Structure formats: structure tokens, C-alpha cells
Chain A
Amino acid sequence: MRLLVGTSALALVLTVASQAHAYTAYVSNEKGNTVSVIDLDKMEVTATIPVGERPRGIIMSGDLKQVYICTSDADHIEVLDTETLKVTRTLPSGPDPELFTLAPDGKTLYVANEDNNMVTVLDLEANDVSAEIPVGTEPEGMGVSPDGKWLVNTSETTSMAHFIDTSSLEVVDSVLVDTRPRFARFTPDGSKVWVSSEVGGTVAVIDTATRKILHKVEFAVQGLRKETIQPVGIVITPDGKTAFVALGPANRVAVIDTASFEVKDYLLVGQRVWQLALTPDAKLLLSANGESNDVSVIDVDRLKALKSIPVGELPWGVAIK
């Protein structure tokens, strides 16, 4: 009987996996100084690659052949080749790169330098820093609009979302949000930016055109104290209808209806959930759970956690191709 149950569970996993089109996830392990490679068909780690010190921000290149990794304490960005699974080169980034975002044309990386209050603009073709933009104290979150015209950086101690015009590379507006803003994500139509505030415990939804806060999403989980709910990573489904917000030490991912801003569900994941990533078909959501050293895989349609996959020490971010 036990064998039978096991087999059907396996069949379920295989069904889900077959829908996942052989995706691969790359997970940065902040304390392990490694990147874990997960085969999403098998739902297991197939390789662990040593990288530079304190890998945090992680993102796919425009052609999906490379992974860019912010190795913060090495003070540069490393480029991982997805074929050979080797770090092939490094990119200049300014000191302590924490998070970055890639321009939609794949040619420019915008990097938050947490230690020196700068956003560095990196020309990928020239492999050169083309500009540095002064922002607030402890810049972290980086979001770029789908048309590439707007860059939003959040600075944690300053508690602002800075709107940067990517043609002039100047801060044209700064919106005060709740304390310690961590992350910025544009909606797929570019009309709004979602900004999470870790200590404030809210997500501000800002109108791109007017830079006014349209709404503040608040969270409440029964049995959890308010201060343990600390929003960090945000992803929004390609249809723009659903947002997922990682709630840090609350060990949950909030599911939000973007039309009503109503929190529809709280999905239990691993401990200190940090950054999130969706598979390109938006069927699976992955969360990096820092304290439990694992990645949770969530079925987006059914809003169910399918599996937790052990990775390296202190997983921080996820990129998927």
C-alpha cells in the first residue's frame, strides 16, 4: 500500500514536471559561496558551482546562455556559462553589488551598490561601467520598466523608491515608502511598480506616470506577530493578474489579486523566504528560503507547495531558464 501511494506521488511529480519543459533554476547561496543548479524535471540539484564571495542577486542573460551573479564581497559580477557550468568572466560593478536588473534589450545591467549609495550602469557589450547614479543610503531593490525607460531603485535606510530616467540617468523623483524598502517590480504593462518594505511590513503600489502611491498592501497571518511579517521578494505573473510576495521570517509567500489588492492566500514555505522566481511558462514559482537552506517549488495554478529542494547555505535568490 505504501509503495502504491509512493508511486502515485511520483506520478504526480512527473506530471507536473512534464509541464515544466525542462527548466533549470540557478540559486545563489549567500553563505555557501556557491550556485546550486536545479533540474526542474527531476526537482533536484544536479550541480553545485563554487563562485565568488557572498553571492546574492542572480539573473539570466538576455539570450539565456549565461547567468549573472552579484558576488557582493568579491566586489564584482560573475558570469556563469549555462553550458559548461563554469564562471567564464567577471564584470565590473562598483563595490558590494547586491541586486541588479537587466534592461529589456539585454544590453545594460543596472546594479545597486549597497555600501556606497550608488547605482552602477554597466554596458554589457563594452564590459564597462558607463555611469554611476547617486541614490539613498543602502540601495537594494532594482526594477526596470518593460519599455526600458524607467529604472526604480529602493534605498533601505532612506526609505525611498527612486525613479531614474534611463535616458538621462538621473533621479527625477523619489517616493517615500514605509521603512526599509527591499525590492521593486514593475507590472507587465509597466503602469505600476510594486515596492516591498521589510520593516514597515507593507507593499506600496506606485503609479509609474504620477509617482503617487495608489495602494499599500498590508498583511496579517493568524498566529503570527505583525513584526515577523517582512515583505521582500516580489514576482508578478505575465498576465499581470497575480502578485507573489515573499514574507521573510513569516515563512510564507502571499498571493495577491492585483486588481483588488486583496491577499488571497498565504503559502507556507521554508524559513526566511527571500527572493522568488517564476518559470517562463509561469506554472511554477520558486522561493529561496535562507534559514532552512532550501528552495520551495509552488504550483502556481493550484497554489500548493509541491516540494522543498535542499540547496547550499543561506539561499538568497533564484534565476530560471
Chain B
Amino acid sequence: MTKGAPILGIGAGLVLFFALVFSIVSTGHEARADTTPLKISIGYISEAIPEPDPLSLVEIVPKDKGIAGVRLGLEDNNTTGKFLKQTYEVAEKVIPAGGDLHQAATELTSAGIKLIIANLTADRLLELAAYPEMQDAVILDMRTQDDRLRSDDCRANVFHMMPNRAMKADALAQFLVSKQWMRWVLIEGSNPDDKAFADAIRRSAKRFKGDIVEQRTYTFAAGSRRTDTGQAQIRKQMTELTQRLPDYDVMIVADESEVFGDYLPYRTWDPRPVVGTSGLVPTAWHRSLEQWAGTQIQRRFIKATNRPMLERDYTGWMSARAFGESVTRINTADPKAIRDYMLSDKFELAAFKGVGLTFRHWDQQLREPILLASPLMLVSVSPQEGFLHQRTPLDTLGFDEPDSKCRLNP
């Protein structure tokens, strides 16, 4: 299943490492064009698991979701690298659903690759992080949103590029509070991921004084979707689901499984906006973002893939760039040095959000502004004005140091 470029041997890696140490001594802090050539091998691991089909026929289902962003990030690294005699390559490992993750991991590590980008679900990511060969690796998690990976299950060799659900829920809650839409109805699906998002909303409600006036769970399956009779049936179902609610301002839907969420707008009993996993959605990336030079990467991505950039492509791009940015600045591909650099106050990732992005040292989550977008437009960006923090307003989103159960780098 391995695609992509050849892989470095351990011996070559060691030679490189020494070459690097000398080049740092000879050139000092500023990286220059006369540095020693350096080859940086990154491993990409993913599992081919089915994902829920989107409800709307309009929404695209790309086969290269995520990896397309990694590839573009790698290309950007190589454009920069050619001025520093650095070449980047990625070894792509995609295992079949339920396949042998350990074998894929050891294929990478035995080739000396310890810079890993993981496009895996939470349990699989924890498996990967636990392998003995991965203990001195740096794993960038481009996929999971699970709050537990930033609390009870945080790992020293894992950095998170995707914002977790608590960050997204806080981003949404801040927006609702700034609009003075304080009375919320929460409708959640029956799958674990739906409940996880609903839990994050309940936590945000407590933090930002949102009033959840009623909670309901959607259990029936909407059959015959996308057909004539289907749409009539759906309309009736959604109206029934949302009737006889107490007074409320906004309906929050938690349906990551794509079972009913997109059916709610305009079909609710009361005329109220829908937000959450449908309607107005908190997300790390949206194809409508054009400020902060967003237009540039949107266009480069479309040129490379013939489709818009999705959230997981963005976190994939950021993962490749986080490695690239670190190697460019410290002029070594040593995982330990990269880990230290990424946790230092010198690390700063420019990722089209108007501010440099840094990692929280306690749970190794990337701090990032969260976009709030309707299907076709950027509506707002959180943190909202007025939500203040002594360190950075970005720490008003998600798990701040005092309330984190994770203490990775005290």
C-alpha cells in the first residue's frame, strides 16, 4: 500500500543528523542558502474506513480528503526547501479498515521515519501512539476532534492540528452570546459522536451562561432521502421533532453522523436559526474564507485538486507545514529537536488565520481561531471581541490550562 518517495535508512538518518549538527554550528541561528543539503522524510498513516455520506447531493465526497492537503503542504515545503537545500518527501501508508496498523507503523520507523502525520480515529491514534517504536516520534493528529485526547487520554508524542469539540462548541457559544441569543434548544443524534458534540455544547453553555431550555434526541431513521416522497416525509418529521418547545432563540443540532441535521433548517416548527453541525457551523476551515490571504491557498488547492479545500485538507496542510516550518527554522529533522521547537515560544505557524498559531504546552493542542460559516459564507470568527484571556484570547476556546486534566509539559 506504500506510495510516494523512497525512504531513508537509519544509517543515512544518523549521518544526516551529524551533518546537521555541524551545519548549525557553522551557520549560526539564521538559516541560509549555503547550508548542508537535508532530506526530510515524513510518514502519513491513514485507515480506509467508511465515513457517513453527506445528506446533500451537492456536497462533495472526495477520495483524497486530508491527504490532498498534506501533499500541498509538502509542495509548499519543497518550494521553500529549494532555497535551503532541503527536500521533503512523504511516505503514504493507507491500511484497509481494521488492517494491521502496527505493521504500517514499523515500516515507517524501521526506515528511520519518526515525523508522522496521522489521519486516524481516536482509538487507532492511541494505538499508534502506544507502540514502542513511536515513543520518540512526533505524531501530528490531523483528524480527531475528541475531547478525551486533550484530557484523560493525552499523549506526549501526539500534537493536535484539528480543533477539538470543546474549542468548536466554545467558538459557537461565544458567537451566540455576542448576538444575545441566550436560550438554546439542543437536538442530538443517537450515535456516540453526536453525543460527544452535544456534551461539548452542554459544557460551553455552562461556561458562557447559555440557557439550554430543552434537549431532544432524534432516533428515527429518515428513509427515502433525496426522493420526491422523501422530502415530504422529512419535512413532516422535522416539524414534529421540533414542535411544542419552550421559548427559545436558536436551535443547536448535534449530528456528526449526517442522519438528519441538514434537514432541520426551514423545517422547524418555530422560525428559528439552526446552528451546530448544520446551518451555522464552527470549523477550522471553510471554502469561503478569503481574508488573511485565504484566497491564495484556496486557489492553489483548487488548482491542484479541482475541488475546494475541506477542513481535514486544511489540517493536513497545516501538519505538513508545521514540520516544514520547524525544519526551516532550526535546520534539523531530528524529532526531539522538532518537538522542543514546536513547544517553544519561537514556533509560529502562519495558516491564513491572521495570527501566528502556537501549541498549548499542557495538551499539545494547536491554538487556532475557529470560523463560523453558513453553507456558502463565512459569518464570523471566534474568539469574539471582548472574550479576554491573560495569555491570548485563543485560550478562551477549549481547554485552558487551569481546567485541563492534561499536564504534558509542566
Chain A interface residues toward B at CB < 8 A: 96, 114-115, 117, 136-138, 155-160, 162, 171, 173-176, 178-180, 199-201, 212-213, 225, 227, 230, 249
Contacts and interface: CB of A to CB of B under 8 A. Distances in A.
Given A175-B30, A179-B356, A249-B354, A160 B80 contact: yes
Contacts of A158: 76, 79-80, 83
A136 B296 contact: no
B356 A199 contact: yes
B350 to A, nearest CB: 4
Contacts of B76: 137, 157-158
A282 to B, nearest CB: 31
B303 interface: yes
B303 A138 contact: no
B37 interface: no
Given A179-B356, A200-B348, A227-B355, A162 B79 contact: no
26 contacts: A96-B299, A114-B296, A115-B299, A117-B79, A136-B83, A138-B293, A156-B350, A157-B79, A157-B350, A159-B325, A173-B33, A174-B32, A174-B84, A175-B30, A176-B84, A178-B348, A179-B348, A179-B349, A180-B350, A199-B348, A199-B354, A200-B356, A225-B392, A225-B393, A230-B354, A249-B354
A212 B29 CA distance: 11
B300 interface: yes
A159 B356 contact: no
Nearest to B33: A174
Contacts of B83: 136, 158, 160, 162, 171, 174
B111 interface: no
Contacts, number: 77
Interface of A is mostly: loop
A305 B31 CA distance: 40
A158 B76 CA distance: 7
Given A176-B31, A225-B393, A137 B350 contact: no
Interface string B294-312: 0010011001000000000
B182 to A, nearest CB: 27
A14 to B, nearest CB: 39
Given A175-B32, A199-B356, A115 B293 contact: no
B393 A115 contact: no
Interface in B318-377: 321, 325, 328-329, 348-350, 354-356
A39 B124 CA distance: 66
B348 to A, nearest CB: 5
A63 to B, nearest CB: 33
B329 to A, nearest CB: 7
Interface of B: 30-33, 76, 79-80, 83-84, 293, 296, 299-300, 303, 321, 325, 328-329, 348-350, 354-356, 392-393
Contacts of B79: 117, 136-137, 155, 157-158
B80 A137 contact: yes
Nearest to B329: A176
Contacts of A213: 30
Contacts of A212: 30
Nearest to B393: A225
Which of A155, A158, A200 is the most central at the interface, judged by chain B CB atoms within 10 Å of its CB?
Answer: A158
Nearest to B79: A137
A305 B329 CA distance: 39
Contacts of B80: 136-137, 155, 157-160
Given A158-B79, A158-B83, A199-B348, A115 B33 contact: no
A93 B293 CA distance: 20
Given A136-B80, A171-B83, A199 B350 contact: yes
Given A173-B33, A199-B356, A115 B303 contact: yes
Contacts of B350: 156-157, 159, 179-180, 199
A307 B290 CA distance: 30
Contacts of B328: 159, 176
A115 B30 contact: no
Nearest to B356: A199
| 9 closest Cβ pairs, A-B complex | A174-B83, A158-B80, A227-B355, A179-B350, A199-B350, A137-B79, A180-B350, A199-B356, A137-B76
Contacts of B30: 175-176, 212-213
A19 B303 CA distance: 51
Nearest to B349: A179
A210 to B, nearest CB: 11
